[in-house]
């Protein structure tokens, strides 16, 4: 047995495709073999689809319409999902995700589409002041409890209610279809209706409340009267303030808001100390304490709302989220009302197709679609980019929140057992990516990539897959990853079973330095754990090495690079020049460039309690500018100041305990003492505020 096999087995990862070891997943020749096994498996399962796939592979889709390619990919993706799940023994987890997502679609979103969306048309601005709201609520409670007793254990109120409504809507549609001569949608509808009837008749209370329904002998009529009770409750819930509280936050009742292009960010104005200021509307404040992740992303149901909101335009080749919006005449890109060119996703990601497969519940298949055009997807999505949203067909109402969906597809896979391994494999082996389905072996050419930001790491990925060896350098320090995780020439990486073992809280996270602007230019609104996934994925590649603290043109010159044997140098270091603003005295004390402040905060980790970084800020701070850097600086200064003064209070208190107040204060001059006392008094004020909020906290810092 080869050494690499032994290591893989020590790591307890035996793959689910016979004849393949974990080590093989890093060997181009074995990746080619794995693709052959995928092909053979597909041929056995669906010979027709296999034939279509072969034609697509052979022609690279040159003679195919975009709609035909999309359709084929959507049908192929579940096969990739199934195959990869088998490879990593996660079939059960994939099946669980599929059944949970399908259940959500069939309850929450069938309810939304079949009932809530039609409710205005159904009641046509009816005046509910004449309605007996108490009876409407009572009837709904009875209907749920007596006719649908299986909902009693459902602690999710929205889900329980939607189960009732969606079931009745389906039964109603079934009978309507039959009346129009359509085939049956539900096989045992009559027996289901009989069960409902018997349950309602058997209970004395519901027998009275639903007497009108029970008087209907036809199953269709009986169903429609029950459905009417649900519809009436929905309309009342939308219009009665008390009932409305129940549905607050329910995705089944969410409707897309109109886009007010002139007021994209709603605000209120407030007079403060002689200035007119903008402020967020009351009730929309999001309190922040420190540097933990500020945006934990949508939950699954919110994501599925977005998936449901999509109308899957790829089958009409109008998926402008991916392809941009073009004028019929001339074919150039359209601009939106703000004059922004609607280019769609710059990568041309298969967004609409991914949404269809996500809706089917197959996250691995959906991720395989994403990684065709966007293999470094942990570095995109929510809080990073939104050209796709701006390109969405919905220009006058809320667009589909594609970045949330994309990131959710990724995280649903990452948090599966071996999710990191699954993502990582899809970057170097992906049957859907017919142009480069598996990484090529080393071709003897070496490339120096300067800059390990998004451009550099993405370029490195593509070059490695084409067979080049890549050395990535960055002027800033890059922390190495443990060799246990990356592997080496003699050692296989340890497979990561649980993404949580790599996951760090952002306010405690070690700044790895990898990722350039994504590391030091983005605040804690974005989950930087994704950077580690990219870093690890690349660091495991045999043909890749990464070096921090190497400045191109200084530490290494262009001549030295050629002498070292590089065949090509790729500059991926962005604009590069430091921003020197042409203002007199702009380097005096108390003045700092916003970008410099942000970079210092991110790079030094000054926001962490454990950090000794010297980054001093006094309030009030005035921030000049209204762009992203200014806004980020505003939020970060506001979050940093309490951390700074609390840290100083804590350290000062400890020092005074150990050395006495006079010794400690003796090392400062008059101005420093003034600043110190200001910080200490603010630190004490925050501490007492914390104690007021949580009386159990210790009185000392």
Tell me which stretch binds ligand SF4 (CB under 6 A): 64-72, 304-312, 372-380, 674-682: 304-312
CB of 530 to ligand SF4, least distance (A): 22
Should residue 351 be labelled a site residue for ligand SF4 when binding is judged by CB under 6 A?
yes
Q: Would you tell me how many other CB atoms lie within 10 Å of the CB of residue 80?
A: 25
Kindly write down the DSSP assignment for every residue of 533-554, as one continuous string. Answer: HHHHHHHTSTTEEEEES--BTT
Q: Which one, 304 or 478, has the nearer CB to ligand SF4?
A: 304
Provide the minimum distance between the beta carbon of 260 and ligand SF4 in the complex, in angstroms, as a whole number. 19
Residue nearer to ligand SF4 on the CB measure, 220 or 393: 393
Nearest-angstrom CA–CA distance, 265 and 281: 10
Q: Is 313 in the site for ligand SF4 (CB under 6 A)?
A: yes
Q: Which of 428, 344, 440, 334 is nearest to 391 (CA)?
A: 344
The smaller minimum CB distance to ligand SF4, of residues 151 and 404, is found at 404
- 41 or 67, CB closer to ligand SF4? 67
For the bound state, the minimum distance from the C-beta of residue 7 to ligand SF4, rounded and expressed in Å, comes to: 44
Q: Which is nearer to ligand SF4, 224 or 308 (CB)?
A: 308
Cα–Cα distance measured from residue 199 to residue 49, given in angstroms and rounded to the nearest whole number: 47
Tell me if residue 272 falls in helix, strand or coil: strand
Nearest to 643 by CA among 682, 672, 600: 682
Among the listed ranges 73-81, 143-151, 311-319, 651-659, the one in contact with ligand SF4 (CB under 6 A) is 311-319
Rounded distance, CA 393 to CA 311, Å? Answer: 9
Q: Counting contacts by CB under 6 A, is residue 393 touching ligand SF4?
A: yes
3-state SS record for 563-630: HCCCCEEEECCCCCCCCCCCCCCCCCCCCCCHHHHHHHHHHHCCCCCCCCCCCCCCCCCCCCCCCHHH
What is the nearest approach in angstroms of ligand SF4 to the Cβ of residue 408? 14
Paired strand residues for 385: none
CB nearer ligand SF4, residue 397 or residue 638: 397
Least Å distance, CB 359 to ligand SF4, is 11
Minimum distance of ligand SF4 from residue 351's CB (angstroms): 5
Q: What is the largest CA-CA distance in the chain?
A: 95
| Phi, psi for 367 (deg, rounded to 5) | -70, -35
- Please identify which residue in 166, 320, 408, 424 interacts with ligand SF4, judged by CB under 6 A: 320
The stretch among 11-19, 135-143, 313-321, 643-651 that binds ligand SF4 (CB under 6 A) is 313-321
Query: What's the token pair of residue 358?
Result: 């996500």
**Among 90, 304, 342, 392, interactor with ligand SF4 by CB under 6 A:** 392
Q: Which residues of 224-236 are buried (b: 16+ CB within 10 A; e: fewer)?
A: bbbbebbbbbbbb
Q: Scanning residues 24 to 83, which ones bind ligand SF4 (CB under 6 A)?
A: none
Q: Which is nearer to ligand SF4, 347 or 402 (CB)?
A: 402
Q: How many residues bind ligand SF4 (CB under 6 A)?
A: 13
Q: Which stretch binds ligand SF4 (CB under 6 A): 124-132, 139-147, 297-305, 312-320?
A: 312-320
Considering only CA atoms, which of 534, 556, 310 is closest in space to residue 450? 556
User: ∠ at Cα 629 (624, 633), nearest 5°?
Assistant: 70
Min dist CB 526 to ligand SF4, Å, is 22
Q: Which of 42, 147, 321, 416 binds ligand SF4 (CB under 6 A)?
A: 321
The tokens describing 517, both together, are 């602007």
Among 168, 243, 369, 402, binds ligand SF4 (CB under 6 A): 402
Among 213, 310, 556, 598, binds ligand SF4 (CB under 6 A): 310
The smaller minimum CB distance to ligand SF4, of residues 351 and 639, is found at 351
Q: Yes or no: say if 355 and 362 are a contact pair by the CB < 8 Å rule.
A: no
**Of 21, 151, 352, 433, which lies in the binding site for ligand SF4, with binding defined by CB under 6 A?**
352
Query: Residue 317 Cβ, how far from ligand SF4 at the closest point, in Å?
Result: 11
Tell me which residue of 504, 312, 304, 285 sits closest to 404, measured CA to CA: 304
Is residue 312 at the binding interface for ligand SF4, with CB under 6 A as the rule? yes
Q: Could you give phi then psi for residue 274, rounded to 5 degrees?
A: 85, 0
Q: Which stretch binds ligand SF4 (CB under 6 A): 45-53, 117-125, 319-327, 482-490?
A: 319-327
The correct pick among 42, 400, 534, 639 for binding ligand SF4 (CB under 6 A) is 400
Beta strand extents in 246-294 (DSSP E only): 268-272, 275-279
Report the residue from 82, 319, 406, 412 that binds ligand SF4 according to the rule CB under 6 A: 319
> Kind of pairing, strands 275-279 and 268-272?
antiparallel
Measured from the CB atom, the residue of 169 and 392 that comes closer to ligand SF4 is 392
CB 153, min distance to ligand SF4, A: 36
- Helix (H) / strand (E) element for 194: namely helix 189-202
Positions touching ligand SF4 (CB under 6 A) are: 310-313, 319-321, 351-352, 392-393, 400, 402
């Amino acid at each position: 047995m080869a050494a690499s096999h032994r290591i893989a087995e020590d790591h307890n990862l035996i793959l689910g495709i016979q004849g393949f070891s974990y080590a093989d997943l890093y060997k181009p020749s074995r990746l080619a073999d794995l693709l052959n096994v995928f092909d053979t498996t597909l041929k056995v399962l669906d010979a027709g689809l296999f034939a279509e796939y072969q034609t697509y592979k052979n022609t690279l889709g040159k003679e195919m319409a975009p709609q035909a390619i999309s359709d084929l990919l959507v049908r192929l993706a579940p096969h990739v999902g199934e195959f990869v799940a088998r490879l990593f023994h996660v079939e059960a987890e994939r099946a669980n995700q599929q059944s949970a997502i399908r259940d959500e679609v069939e309850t929450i979103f069938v309810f939304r589409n079949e009932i809530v969306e039609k409710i205005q048309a159904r009641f046509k601005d009816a005046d509910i002041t004449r309605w007996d709201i108490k009876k409407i609520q009572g009837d709904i409670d009875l209907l749920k409890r007596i006719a649908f007793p299986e909902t009693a254990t459902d602690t999710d109120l929205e889900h329980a209610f939607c189960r009732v409504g969606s079931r009745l809507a389906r039964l109603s549609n079934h009978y309507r279809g039959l009346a129009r001569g359509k085939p049956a949608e539900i096989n045992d509808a009559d027996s289901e209706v009989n069960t409902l009837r018997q349950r309602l008749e058997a209970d004395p209370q519901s027998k009275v409340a639903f007497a009108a329904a029970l008087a209907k002998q036809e199953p269709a009529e009986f169903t429609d009267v029950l459905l009417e009770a649900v519809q009436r409750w929905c309309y009342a819930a939308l219009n009665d303030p008390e009932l409305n509280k129940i549905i607050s936050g329910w995705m089944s009742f969410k409707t897309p808001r109109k886009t007010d292009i002139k007021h994209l960010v709603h605000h209120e104005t407030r007079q403060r100390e002689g200035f007119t200021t903008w402020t967020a509307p009351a009730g929309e404040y999001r309190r922040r304490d420190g540097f933990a992740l500020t945006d934990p992303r949508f939950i699954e149901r919110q994501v599925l709302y977005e998936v449901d909101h999509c109308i899957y335009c790829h089958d009409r080749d109008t998926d402008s989220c991916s392809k941009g919006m073009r004028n019929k005449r001339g074919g150039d890109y359209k601009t939106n009302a703000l004059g922004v060119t609607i280019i769609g996703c710059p990568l041309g990601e298969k967004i609409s197709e991914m949404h269809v497969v996500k809706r089917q519940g197959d996250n691995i298949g959906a991720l395989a679609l994403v990684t065709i055009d966007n293999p470094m997807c942990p570095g995109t999505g929510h809080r990073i980019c939104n050209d796709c949203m701006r390109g969405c067909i919905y220009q006058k109402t809320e667009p589909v929140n594609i970045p949330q969906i994309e990131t959710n597809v990724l995280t649903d896979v990452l948090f599966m057992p071996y999710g990191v391994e699954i993502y990582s494999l899809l970057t170097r082996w992906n049957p859907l990516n017919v142009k480069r389905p598996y990484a090529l072996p080393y071709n003897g050419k070496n490339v120096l990539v300067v800059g390990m930001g998004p451009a550099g790491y993405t370029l490195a990925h593509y070059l490695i897959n084409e067979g080049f060896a890549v050395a990535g350098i960055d002027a800033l320090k890059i922390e190495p990853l443990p060799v246990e995780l990356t592997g080496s020439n003699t050692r296989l990486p340890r497979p990561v079973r649980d993404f949580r073992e790599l996951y760090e809280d952002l306010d405690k996270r070690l700044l790895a330095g990898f990722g350039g602007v994504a590391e030091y230019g983005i605040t804690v609104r974005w989950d930087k754990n994704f950077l580690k996934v990219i870093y690890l994925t690349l660091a495991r590649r045999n043909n890749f090495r990464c070096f921090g603290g190497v400045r191109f043109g200084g530490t290494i010159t262009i001549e030295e690079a050629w002498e070292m044997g590089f065949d090509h140098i790729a500059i991926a270091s962005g604009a590069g020049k430091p921003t020197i603003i042409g203002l007199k005295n702009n380097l005096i004390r108390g003045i700092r460039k916003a970008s410099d402040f942000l970079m210092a905060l991110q790079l030094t980790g000054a926001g962490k309690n454990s950090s000794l970084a010297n980054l001093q800020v006094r309030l009030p701070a005035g921030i000049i500018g209204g762009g992203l850097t200014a806004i980020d600086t505003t939020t970060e200064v506001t979050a940093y100041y309490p951390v700074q003064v609390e840290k100083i209070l804590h350290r000062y208190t400890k020092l005074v305990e150990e050395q006495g107040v006079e010794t400690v204060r003796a090392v400062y001059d008059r101005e420093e003492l003034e600043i110190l006392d200001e910080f200490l008094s603010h630190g004490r004020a925050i501490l007492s505020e914390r104690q007021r909020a949580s009386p159990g906290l210790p009185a000392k810092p």
